[in-house]
Amino acid sequence: MVQQTIQIFGRIKPTGKPSAVFSVDNEDPTGASLDFLLPRDLSDGFVNNKRESYKFRFKKVFDQHAKQEDIFENIARPVADSVLAGFNGAIFAYGQTGSGKTFTITGGAERYADRGIIPRTLSYLFERFSQDSSTVYTMHISYLEIYNELGYDLLDPRHEASRLEDLPKVLIMEDADQNIHLRNLSLQQAANEEEALNLLFLGDTNRMIAETPLNQASTRSHCIFTVHLCRREPGSATLQRSKLHLVDLAGSDRVSKTGLNGVLLTEAKYINLSLHFLEQVILALSERSRSHIPYRNSMLTSVLRDSLGGNCMTTMIATLAVDKRNLDESISTCRFAQRVALIKNEAILNEELDPVLLIAHLKEEILTLKKQLATMMGEQKDEQLTADEMLKLEELIEAFLNDPDPDGTLSLGPAMRKVQHSFSYFKRKILEKQTERHQCSQQPPAATRREDVYFPHMSPVDVNSLKEMLQQRDNEISILVKMLKKEKKRADDAVVQLSRITDCQKLSSQSLPNYSTVPGFGDGMADTLSLNRGGQASSESLTGEENMELGEDVSTLSKLTGQVASMCPLSQQLKSTPPQSRDGNVKGHQEDQRVKVYTFQESHEGNMNQLSLNHGGQVLLYMKKGSQLSAGKQEAFEIFIKDHEEQQIIEDHKQLIKKRSAEARTLSEQLNQVRNTIAELRKQLQMRRRQSAAQSVEVNHPPGEKFDPVEEDLCEQIRREKIVYKSAIGRLKALSTEIEHLQLLLERVKVKIQKDFQKWWTQEASSLQGWEPGATAGFHTRPSSSGTPGLWTLDSTAPPHRRPASGC
């Protein structure tokens, strides 16, 4: 058991203007401190007691320049390590809206380097799995959203979210031991990093699609991404299960400041209510005398029950926006963090026994015990041993007798019959020996056997087995010599043949023949000869293990190359896919390639690109099938996206994907070349060794005794090429992950644009219905931020001077 208080960290969001009202001190070895120094007039504004300075203690405070990588290394990696060791872990981000909770937990959409704790942790876990081949790991993922006290499954493969209510509702159940179970929350298996990442993006996309201007789920809901790990040694009955909750809490903004109206106020109350209950739980936990902890008051506290004051290693990140107008919120976030820091958790190793394996082990044990008991009690089986049993037993006894180890034992089990049979076997053997000795003593001394003279202390059985061994070795040697002679002949023939060819082609060069091209050299019988120089060269040559290793790398390479290849069509598609008609024919669009990517597809309910899971748990990206957009709407959409603020991100991602794909292609070509070079060098090495072996036979010299500089040089070259290969394959793996991530980000931005368009379109359509020529409300072109005209927008005061294109 590990007893530990909840670790708290602070993270300050970068601000445009530097703010002098706070200072960070990370130098103190006992922990960091964050000080707010408020001018008196400012403190009047938001604190009643007119304090001017506030000091808060954290384990560490990350200032505005902290990178996502630092956050992962310092905060998430230690938690991930304890989850790998079988403990539960939780990281949750707390702070006001816009302070960087989602950025910290999930990451930003703009750059690969901005990926947050979840993708980095997934990557780290799979890397650790691959390094530990002696353990079997399985990972499942769940993604829960809690909004207005209701839980929604963001990963359910059977539902496509177009509204939050469409997602399956998750219910909390409590068993007799007060353990919490979540009904309807799907657990999806992730066999590799790619699948796990797809699940994260699927959940995020579902969350984004389900969000409406009214519910603003992204700021008002809590999201809990949970990694469920199972770890077991093959064959062992014990397994370790651990969970890692990565929690993006709703904004902690206070209602009084939000100025919300009607419906929104109710929702804001709910959010604050659930955070209020969270605070109550934390308060109760920090007071040692409290016996009742009000976990059951809200869904959030019920779900996080283990993470707060339970069996878990928990970490909280307080996200802070330190510009002047957010200072009061930041101070209240820090206060909350100080209370959280008082909570003590007791994490225990979650080991359990696999019931199936346990039952099998117990059954086996019972059987053995029963047999032992029967022997002890003198009971025995009535049936005689069968001929087969006797034969097996005699083989066992022979093996026992021939075992040179004086401590070797003969294990017969508890059967008395076997013990009796063994004794009669021994008796027979002793009698045979006595007869043999008697016969020997009657032979004249001249006829004394040679082996008795040389090995008088050896028994005839030992001498016989030595003789047999000798005979075997003789046979092996003659076979080897025959093979070597044959090889040598083949090598000589090949050299002659090659020189003939060389002569024919009138080659002036007298360089060594390229043996790899010589017919008859390559695979075949000669390959079965292992002629390493007495083990000395084995480190330089490609051993079986190395061959396997290279083989694995080759399969990784082909997988990665396949991935990159499959990515390329997507990046090309992103660049220039013309809209397809429903029957699959390419439309004759030849205009701006940029806009053709977003062929907007409409369906009855949704109109969104969706990420979905197939039955095998694999995540696939697919476009929802639906009717084509009308020409007018398509045109409006094309204009809409040109002016969309996310357009630049799309362009940047596309460029980067293109660049990385090109880099990956070059790298895989390079890898292929290195592989070919290694194969070529290996052929030359084999050839060289065959030649030296053949020469050794000729001069009657044991193979491998003479140092061969050519062979050494070949080994050295192979070694160097392998280093190049390994580093290139590592880079290719990293590139593949990056491309995958960028594509998912791109998909998400696309979905967002389509969603924005649909929202805008619906607004326009409904206002158009009320629009009459001459009325004051209507469409006009909104001057965009970039100054480009063309985005239709509603302005109730402006006179209509442009109407949407036909078909809208």
**Residue numbers at the binding site for ligand ADP (CB under 6 A):** 13-14, 95, 97-103, 108, 219, 251, 319
Q: Residue 730 binds what, of ligand ADP, Mg ion, none (CB under 5 to 8 Å, by partner type)?
A: none
Nearer to ligand ADP (CB atom), residue 162 or residue 319: 319
CB of 218 to Mg ion, least distance (A): 5
CB of 11 to ligand ADP, least distance (A): 7
Token pair 């401590």 in the structure block, residue: 407
x/- mask, Mg ion, residues 686-705, rule CB under 5 A, reads: --------------------
Q: Residue 309 binds what, of ligand ADP, Mg ion, none (CB under 5 to 8 Å, by partner type)?
A: none
- Cα-based distances in Å from 555 to 550, 561, 675: 9, 10, 12
Is 96 marked within a binding site?
Answer: yes
Nearer to ligand ADP (CB atom), residue 223 or residue 714: 223
Nearer to ligand ADP (CB atom), residue 102 or residue 561: 102
Nearer to ligand ADP (CB atom), residue 682 or residue 752: 752
Is 95 marked within a binding site?
Answer: yes
Sign (positive/negative) of CA torsion 566, 571, 576, 582? positive
Number of DSSP helices (H) and strands (E) in the chain, helices first: 21, 23
Nearer to ligand ADP (CB atom), residue 97 or residue 684: 97
Nearest-10 Cα torsion for 493, 499, 500, 504: 160
Q: Residue 103 binds what, of ligand ADP, Mg ion, none (CB under 5 to 8 Å, by partner type)?
A: ligand ADP
Q: Residue 107 binds what, of Mg ion, ligand ADP, none (CB under 5 to 8 Å, by partner type)?
A: none
Nearer to ligand ADP (CB atom), residue 34 or residue 667: 34
Binding segment toward Mg ion, per CB under 5 A, in 19-27, 93-101, 165-173, 378-386: 93-101
Q: Does 301 engage in binding with Mg ion (CB under 5 A)?
A: no
Per DSSP, the three-state class of 804 is: coil
Is 100 marked within a binding site?
Answer: yes
Q: Which residues pair with 94 in a beta bridge?
A: 318
Q: Residue 126 binds what, of ligand ADP, Mg ion, none (CB under 5 to 8 Å, by partner type)?
A: none
Q: Residue 522 binds what, of ligand ADP, Mg ion, none (CB under 5 to 8 Å, by partner type)?
A: none
Question: Which phi and psi (to 5°) does residue 759 adopt?
Answer: -65, -45
Nearer to ligand ADP (CB atom), residue 121 or residue 563: 121
Token pair 């209507």 in the structure block, residue: 778
CB of 93 to Mg ion, least distance (A): 8
Q: Are 598 and 753 in contact (CB under 8 A)?
A: yes
Q: How far is CA 777 from the centre of its chain?
A: 54
Is 99 marked within a binding site?
Answer: yes
Is 315 marked within a binding site?
Answer: no
Which residue has the closest beta carbon to Mg ion?
102
Token pair 């809208």 in the structure block, residue: 808
Nearer to ligand ADP (CB atom), residue 146 or residue 697: 146
Q: Residue 206 binds what, of Mg ion, ligand ADP, none (CB under 5 to 8 Å, by partner type)?
A: none
Is 368 marked within a binding site?
Answer: no
Nearer to Mg ion (CB atom), residue 111 or residue 731: 111
CB of 60 to Mg ion, least distance (A): 22
Per DSSP, the three-state class of 22 is: strand
CB of 201 to Mg ion, least distance (A): 16
CB of 103 to Mg ion, least distance (A): 8
The candidate with the shortest Cα–Cα distance to 82, out of 261, 338, 278, 345, is 345
Nearer to ligand ADP (CB atom), residue 208 or residue 342: 208
Is 733 marked within a binding site?
Answer: no
Name residues whose C-beta falls within 8 Å of residue 193's C-beta, 6 or more positions apart in sequence.
122, 123, 126, 737
Alpha helices by DSSP H, listed for 259-343, are 262-286, 299-303, 327-340
Q: Are 749 and 646 in contact (CB under 8 A)?
A: yes
Determine whether 147 is exposed, middle or buried from the number of CB atoms within 10 Å of its CB (0-12, 13-18, 19+). Answer: buried
Q: Residue 421 binds what, of ligand ADP, Mg ion, none (CB under 5 to 8 Å, by partner type)?
A: none
Q: What does the alpha-carbon distance between residue 497 and residue 489 come to, in Å, rounded to a whole number? A: 12
CB of 208 to Mg ion, least distance (A): 11
Is 13 marked within a binding site?
Answer: no
CB of 649 to ligand ADP, least distance (A): 11
CB of 514 to ligand ADP, least distance (A): 58
Instruction: Name the E strands within 13-94.
Output: 22-25, 32-37, 53-58, 60-62, 89-94
CB of 223 to Mg ion, least distance (A): 8
CB of 742 to ligand ADP, least distance (A): 16
Instruction: Name the E strands within 13-69.
Output: 22-25, 32-37, 53-58, 60-62
Which residue has the closest beta carbon to ligand ADP?
100
- β-bridge pairing 89-94 and 313-320: parallel
Token pair 């942790």 in the structure block, residue: 121
Q: What does the alpha-carbon distance between residue 425 and residue 390 come to, in Å, rounded to a whole number? A: 10
The tokens for 598 are: 């977003």
Q: DSSP label at 803?
A: -
Nearer to ligand ADP (CB atom), residue 86 or residue 100: 100
Residues in the chain: 808
The alpha-carbon radius of gyration of the chain (Å, integer) is 38
Assign 3-state DSSP to the chain and report helix, strand, coil percentages, each to 5: 50, 15, 35
x/- mask, Mg ion, residues 96-135, rule CB under 5 A, reads: -----xx---------------------------------
**Site residues, Mg ion (CB under 5 A):** 101-102
Report the binding-site residues for ATP.
95-102
Report the binding-site residues.
95-102
